[in-house]
């Protein structure tokens, strides 16, 4: 079994909602990411999503766009992200996934990117601007390299779109909790629980909810419905409040997120 499948099998046995933490490679500084991954795992993150910065991140809100710009100005490239991922893998056994857009992968080369990603310890790929119906080439390269692929469904997805995403995905299905871009929200969209139910009709894969997750109440609302939740913008916001103390900010935020109000 892959690390992703093994992790979610364990979470199901433990009857626990998984917590996935998103970090932008190279934010807040070029060399910060491995220590932030260690801090997140120490505070209970079950998997890590490593964002490769891109100049035109259409699915991302203000926080992740700003973090990406800082990382790009610091010199983060796909090659550098691969090097950082190798350092992260050396210190943890939890699943690591790359989140990036299609253009950087194509520029690097599909086969080459997938092979290198697997070689440095990446377990899966999330490409938000690649529809499931257009993903045959990437999925073929990823499968050959032993990488899982993750696809999105949202409150605006119709049944055909949900079915296509579920058929294409191998690691888990990513349910977008809000309509729009990433960013912390005060409340979860009321449509997310019915969306999870719709996805369950099409797949036995784990279902993970992201976009807007920022509070203990959000995790509580997903318990018993989703298999995991991804925290992204809210975690980066916490890092941005004290970038010189980023690792401790990660610890404090994730500890608070796991503490019921």
What is the average pLDDT across 113-132? 97
Q: What tokens does 47 get? A: 């998997």
pLDDT tens per residue across span 136-179: 999 999 999 999 999 999 988 999 999 999 999 999 999 998 65
| pLDDT at residue 121, rounded to an integer | 98
Q: Would you list the domain boundaries of the chain?
A: 3-254
Please report which residue ranges of the chain form alpha helices under DSSP H. Answer: 3-14, 33-42, 62-73, 78-89, 102-108, 110-119, 136-145, 159-168, 192-200, 216-222, 233-241, 246-257
Q: Give the burial class of 57: count Cβ atoms within 10 A of its Cβ; 0-12 exposed, 13-18 middle, 19 or more buried.
A: buried
**Start-to-end C-alpha separation, the chain:** 36
**Which CATH number describes the domain made up of 3-254?**
3.20.20.70
Q: If you average pLDDT over residues 231-238, what whole number do you get?
A: 95
Find the mean pLDDT for residues 21-41: 97
pLDDT at position 177, please?
82
β-sheet bridge partners, residue 149 = 125
* pLDDT score, position 212: 83
* Residue 171: closest CA among 14, 18, 16, 56: 18
pLDDT value at 183 more than 50: no
Going by C-alpha positions, the residue among 253, 260, 256, 219 that lies closest to residue 236 is 253
pLDDT at 259: 79
- pLDDT value, residue 97: 98
Q: What is the pTM of this model?
A: 0.94
Q: How confident is the model at residue 96 (pLDDT cuts 50, 70, 90)?
A: very high
The whole-angstrom separation of Cα 231 and Cα 229 is 7
Nearest to 25 by CA among 256, 254, 253, 239: 239
Residues annotated catalytic, as ranges = 49, 60
Give the number of C-alpha atoms closer than 13 A to the C-alpha of residue 10, restricted to the C-beta side: 13
Per-residue confidence band for 57, with pLDDT thresholds at 50, 70 and 90: low
Q: Which residue has the higher pLDDT, 184 or 106?
A: 106
Q: Is the pLDDT score of 231 beyond 80?
A: yes
């Amino acid at each position: 079994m892959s690390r992703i499948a093994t992790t979610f099998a364990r979470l199901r046995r433990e009857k626990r909602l998984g917590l996935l933490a998103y970090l932008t490679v190279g934010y807040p500084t070029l060399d910060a990411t491995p220590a932030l991954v260690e801090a997140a795992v120490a505070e209970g993150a079950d998997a890590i999503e490593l964002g490769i910065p891109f100049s035109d991140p259409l699915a991302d809100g203000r926080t992740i766009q700003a973090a990406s710009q800082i990382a790009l100005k610091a010199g983060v490239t796909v090659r550098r992200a691969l090097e950082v991922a190798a350092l992260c893998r050396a210190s943890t056994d939890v699943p690591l996934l790359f989140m990036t857009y299609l253009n950087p992968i194509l520029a690097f080369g599909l086969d080459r990117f997938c092979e290198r990603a697997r070689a440095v310890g990446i377990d899966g790929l999330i490409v938000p601007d690649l529809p499931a119906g257009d993903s045959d080439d990437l999925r073929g390269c990823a499968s050959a390299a032993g990488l899982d692929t993750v696809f999105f469904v949202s409150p605006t997805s119709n049944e055909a779109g949900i079915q296509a995403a579920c058929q294409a995905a191998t690691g888990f299905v990513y349910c977008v909790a809000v309509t729009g871009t990433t960013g912390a929200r005060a409340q979860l969209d009321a449509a997310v629980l019915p969306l999870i139910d719709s996805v369950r009709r099409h797949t036995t894969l784990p279902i993970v909810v992201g976009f807007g997750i920022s509070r203990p109440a959000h995790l509580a609302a997903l318990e018993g419905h989703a298999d995991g939740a991804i925290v992204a913008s809210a975690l980066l916001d916490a890092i941005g409040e004290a970038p010189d103390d980023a690792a401790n900010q990660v610890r404090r935020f994730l500890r608070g997120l796991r503490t019921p109000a």
